[in-house]
Chains A and B, each alone.
Chain A
Amino acid sequence: MANRNNSSSFDFINYLQKYGTLTAIIVMAVFFTLINPKFISINNILNVSLQFSFIAILAIGILFPMITGAFDLTGTEMIFFISAMGAGLIRNEIVTTVPGAILAMLLIGVMVGLVKALAVTYLRLPSLLATLAFGVSLMGIGRWYTKNRAIYIIGKMDSIALLAEGKLLGIPVPVVILFFLIIILYFLLYKSSFGNRLYMMGGTELAAEEAGLNVKLYQTIAFIISGIMGAISALIVLARIRGANPDVGSSFTIMTIASVFIGMTMFKRGEPNLLGTVLAVLMLSLITNGFVMIGLSIYIQDLIIGGLILATVSVSVYLRRFKS
């Protein structure tokens, strides 16, 4: 151990492992700008930042169950389901004020998290399958409710658009929300005793039980946080498209999960972590946007995201193997 630290030579593998994603982000940004200078135009940055923000919020929510060792495969599904329910409430004037809409959607998010938690902790279903199946059900309810069409709230609550398009000191509101959430969650995960206990869940269930911790309780809280983040994310999407759309994007689920995994390869010690996840989302968002900017069809996005995730994960896995 000590010897490795003493070596003064540049450790390429270590560098790649720690800063690979950051380096990739910068290289990609330069590359796209060289091909299409519009890549760094204000318009495009705003465009990227919006997509980046709501996916990042979704991802840092999914991060919580992942820290406790459970999967949560309901990214896209949460966004569509919660935004569809929200749009329904607003259209039918069940909620008429913006704070009312926010509160209602957050509550739906909590419920969604609670159901997942019950399935995983109390019914002891494997989280991979349980959340996947639950996601499909959410999608089903949403499609049934919207008759599989986009539904709009235009004319009912126009001020909610501020959540997506407003600016605070020149910064888009979704970005402000994201930063605000990052600060709160960072504190929760890395400064509070709650965070330490949550990480203790990440080994075998026995590890946490031997430490005398209530596994069910912490895992339930983790899923509820994921639900709340899903709701915030859905709010931004709802505000952006003024409604809900079943074709909102199929790749959010895989993007969020992959970001948590890619994030694990950055920083510290290989655990699911907050900043790594956010940076990974940033990288994936920049690259998908960049490929569109240099003229690739938008329909090829899924292929790019899939390939990219495979590439990044395999690079990091092989780096780790090579190192050990």
Chain B
Amino acid sequence: MVATKIKDIEKNLLEMKNINKKFPGVKALENIDFIVKKGDVHGVVGENGAGKSTLIKILHGIYIADSGEIFFNGHLIKNHTTSSAHDLGIECIHQIPRFVDYLSVGETMFAGVEPTRGILKIVDWNEVQKRTNEIFNSLDIDIDHTELIRNLNVPQRQMIAIGRAMIRDAKMIVFDEPTASLSEHEVNKLFETIKKLKKQGVTIIYISHRLEEIFEICDRVTVFRNGKKVSTSKPSDISMDELVKLMTGLEKGKRYPEKLKKHEKVILSVKNLNKGQKVKNISFDLHSGEILGLAGLVGAGRTEIARIIFGADKRDSGEVLLSDKAVNFSSPYEAIKNGVVLVPENRGTEGIVKKLDVKDNIVLPSIESFCSANMIKAKEIKKVSTQMVQKLNIKTPSIHQRVENLSGGNQQKVVLAKWLVSEGKVFLLDEPTMGVDVGAKVEIFKLVNQLAKEGRGVILISTALEEIAGMCDRILIMRSGEIVQELLGQQTEDVEKILTIVKGGK
């Protein structure tokens, strides 16, 4: 009896029992039991705000749980802090690891655990070199230990963080959305490294929004929703659709709103637009109330078209007409004045002002309409932004919260909200769901549909073909700067077909 119990505990490297954590106004975690078996790659999924990061921060000693127990390797951990996490061998690899730019790889990896000689603690740099090489060799990483951090890209920095974890003899490595800023090739390289770590006996917790990755490398996956654990299962036992349903609580059909059908009035036309190799002789019309999809691979010229229409980039030739009037915007300012709005791909740098609060971000582009005699009408702003927060279901404690404190999906909703307030007629949406979880996506889609219902025109650019197929009334498929095909009606829902054409087939 006793023997089996010990064996059981040995098999579980980590047991978090009955964890509760409250933040002002939010129950972040409710009675969580989270168990990770030794040697597993354990996936953790859930929407933004589901509680994943809170749990990981408790594991890492950054937050302290209100109640509950943590067992690591069978031992109860008391007074858990970041330094006890280090001592236990729990390391975290962040999306973009933070280092000091002017230090070398060796200095960075060994900071805090330098091999030293003598009572004067002289750092033994030969030993640093030797051990760096050993660890890099075992993981097939090709980085010189004297290279400066400044010269490394994100995947290389992640490798340094992994190397550092190994130097500290990590028992458990937590990957926090490591692939969010990696290319496909870099993701594969990272997965190889993770598999090697697993072979060396390291237990891994893997957090990601990209569900296909969970199926590729995880032995088990735990789903969180609204601060509760929903399930833990083997990826081989469930399908992608089931996983999405567990995360969102929504059936598949409900993920896209119904398409709208009727369009009559042309609201925007583009005629023979050209710009270098990226945009070749592009012509199309956008109707009032229509959602028009631009499908294509990255670099096919979709973003470029949007930027030209918006006046952010210059065109070589061609015309942009708004309600039959040639406009040819030469600056975004002109475009916005005329009701043409671009919601950029990179919301962090282009879409929101992180340090401003929710209400100020929402009214930012239309501030002039909230002024009388150059005085801001604060009450009006409060009223409108409160309405927006309710209408879009933006999860924020108040309209006075700084946008940087919101989750990614909610930040994106703020971006959309501010353009809803401004009376835009044409919306150019560039990857509006990038980095947003499944649930927030549904709400963003509803919103886009709402825009169309109100008679505005929407151009939707997305690399996720499923989104394009689910949302758009009409789809233009682009390849190397040209529109190669237009899909209408039933055809727009055939993801396979879109994919084939995007990749170069018929």
Contact = CB atoms under 8 A, between A and B. Distances in A.
Interface of A: 1, 187, 191-197, 199-200, 202-204, 206-214, 268-271
Nearest to A212: B86
Interface in B102-116: 102-103, 107-108, 110-112, 114, 116
A187 B122 CA distance: 8
Given A192-B123, A193-B121, A211-B164, A203 B101 contact: yes
Nearest to A203: B100
Nearest to A206: B98
Nearest to B94: A210
A196 B114 contact: yes
B110 A196 contact: yes
B100 to A, nearest CB: 4
B122 A202 contact: no
A212 B112 contact: yes
A213 B98 CA distance: 13
A199 B103 contact: yes
A52 B101 CA distance: 31
Contacts of B370: none
A264 to B, nearest CB: 9
Interface string B136-170: 00000000000010110000000001001000100
B111 A197 contact: yes
A212 B148 contact: no
Contact of B82 (A197, A202, A203, A209): A209
B100 A196 contact: no
Given A211-B164, A212-B86, A192 B122 contact: yes
Contacts of A197: 111-112, 114
A193 B116 contact: yes
B343 to A, nearest CB: 30
Chain B, interface size category, equals 20 to 34
A199 B102 CA distance: 9
Contacts of A271: 102-103
Given A196-B123, A203-B98, A270-B102, A210 B116 contact: no
A193 B82 contact: no
Nearest to B97: A210
Nearest to A210: B98
B123 A200 contact: no
Contacts of A270: 102
B98 A207 contact: yes
Contact of A199 (B82, B107, B150): B107
Nearest to A190: B123
Contact of A204 (B98, B114, B121, B168): B98
Given A193-B116, A197-B111, 6 more contacts: A192-B120, A192-B122, A204-B98, A206-B98, A212-B168, A269-B150
A50 B351 CA distance: 57
A68 to B, nearest CB: 10
B83 interface: yes
Contact of B123 (A191, A203, A209): A191
